[in-house]
Amino acid sequence: SVSMLPVVSVAAWTLALTPGLRPAPRRSAGAAHMSSSTALPFTKYHGLGNDFVLVDCRELSEPPITPDEARAVCDRNFGVGGDGVIFALPPKEPDSMCSMRIYNSDGSEPEMCGNGIRCLARFFASLQPVDPTYTIDTLAGPIRPTLLPDGTVKVDMGEPILHGPSVPTTLPTNADGVALAAPISAGGFDFTATCVSMGNPHAAIFVDDLEAIEFDTVGPLLESHPAFPAKCNIEFVQVLSRTHLKMKVWERGAGPTLACGTGACALLVAAVLEGRAERAATVTLPGGDLFIEWEEASNRVMMTGPATKVFAGEYSPDH
């Protein structure tokens, strides 16, 4: 059952705020997995419709629910509903404020999530004071979001990984080791894909018309294609201009979503590599726009977009 409350206060789960600009406390306690009598406080956020259940775990060392329990939380009919559950855990590194773990709606755990980290950046800033720019540890490495005055969040997503086997993909690569416009087939359709990792694997496929592709058919086939040993996020991209790209995404572990931040970053890199776009462009996703820039001097990718709080409540598994 789900209760939507202005303020969540459950004695067993209430976590003290940390004063000052200090990281979340490091605790050695293990995960306290849910029982039928345990209520899980949460806050719901979305980034362009890519929606997440955020959980304050600053006093824990592991997520308080299992991947299977996360699947139940994400159920849109019997749970809270969401594309994933994000846990704000203590930091791993001394200069970081917190760490991020995420379970997808299918129970899998990705390395990172671009829309999710914008939501976490806003959520964590609501829990305790932070500098406008601070560091969050992820399984893809440290990520530095900046909270902007207009409510958006700019995130330094780091350097893209272009080496094909490191993405990972077994698609053929060029002399530089990049899977650039490499041929791939699925469901009787032939495509070319450029593969980029933003800490998680992506394949950008450029098409003339997004609406003409058999998205629900080829999306899952490409996600689990043998050329992607760790599965893959699949971005179909239509070039509207050299500074405006439009995409639909089939996310690894979540299926079709309204937005994918790492995917928007990866597809811009792919578009530049294929000579289709400038290094800074607006990416239009089903849920809205992100502004992406691949800085030539630093080789780092910057993503700017919204993170919106929807409601707070508590989830109880005894439905």
Positions annotated as catalytic residues are 113, 260
Pairing of strands 98-104, 84-89: antiparallel
Residue 215 has a CB neighbour count (10 Å cut-off) of: 16
Distance of CA 98 to the CA centre of its chain: 16
Helix axes 114-127, 261-273, angle to 10 degrees: 140
In the block, residue with structure tokens 């990792």? 197
Count other Cβ atoms within 10 Å, centred on residue 150.
8
**CA neighbor of 194 nearest in space, from 221, 224, 229, 232:** 232
Contact (CB, 8 A) for 267 and 204: yes
**Which secondary-structure segment (H or E) carries 157?**
none
Residues in the chain: 319
Q: 69 exposed, middle or buried (CB, 10 Å; 0-12, 13-18, 19+)?
A: buried
Residue 300: Cβ within 10 Å count: 16
In 10 A of CB 288, how many CB atoms? 15
3-state secondary structure of 215: helix
